[in-house]
């Protein structure tokens, strides 16, 4: 157990790099960013932010976003609210004008 504790201590002090691929309109991205940023010192993280455009990927792959499928949208709303409450992250839905400013 002594060897294991020393290895664990060494692991906890090692710096790790996390690449966060995020979409600015995604509440899941916002939650991930907030949590990683909050704990980056404690977890010895280096964050590399990589923006991407999820709507463009959805369009090119001929996929539909979960927010436009009623049952998935309902689940997603509850899931995001649970995560936000658990991590104590305030979330505000974007207005229609915010969403309309992005053309796909």
Mean pLDDT of the chain: 84
Token match 């504790």: residue? 5
Please report the pLDDT score of residue 6 as a whole number: 59
Q: What b/e sequence results for 67-100 when a residue is b if at least 16 CB atoms lie within 10 Å of its CB, and e otherwise?
A: eeeeeeeeebeeebeebbeeeebeeeeeeeeeee
Structural tokens at position 65: 């976003």
Structural tokens at position 28: 């899941």
pLDDT, one tens digit per residue, over 33-69 is: 999 999 999 999 999 999 999 888 888 999 888 888 9
Q: What is the pTM of this model?
A: 0.71
Please report the pLDDT score of residue 12 as a whole number: 60
**Is 39:69 a contact under the CB 8 Å cutoff?**
no
Structural tokens at position 15: 């710096």
């Amino acid at each position: 157990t002594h060897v294991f504790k020393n290895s664990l201590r060494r692991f906890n002090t090692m710096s790790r790099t996390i690449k966060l691929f995020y979409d600015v309109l995604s509440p899941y991205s916002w939650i991930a960013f907030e949590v990683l940023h909050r704990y980056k010192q404690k977890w010895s993280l280096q964050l590399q932010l990589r923006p991407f455009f999820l709507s463009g990927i959805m369009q090119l792959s001929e996929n539909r976003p979960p927010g436009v499928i009623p049952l998935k949208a309902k689940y997603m709303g509850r899931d995001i609210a649970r995560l936000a409450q658990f991590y104590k992250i305030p979330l505000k839905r974007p207005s229609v004008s915010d969403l309309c400013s992005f053309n796909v």
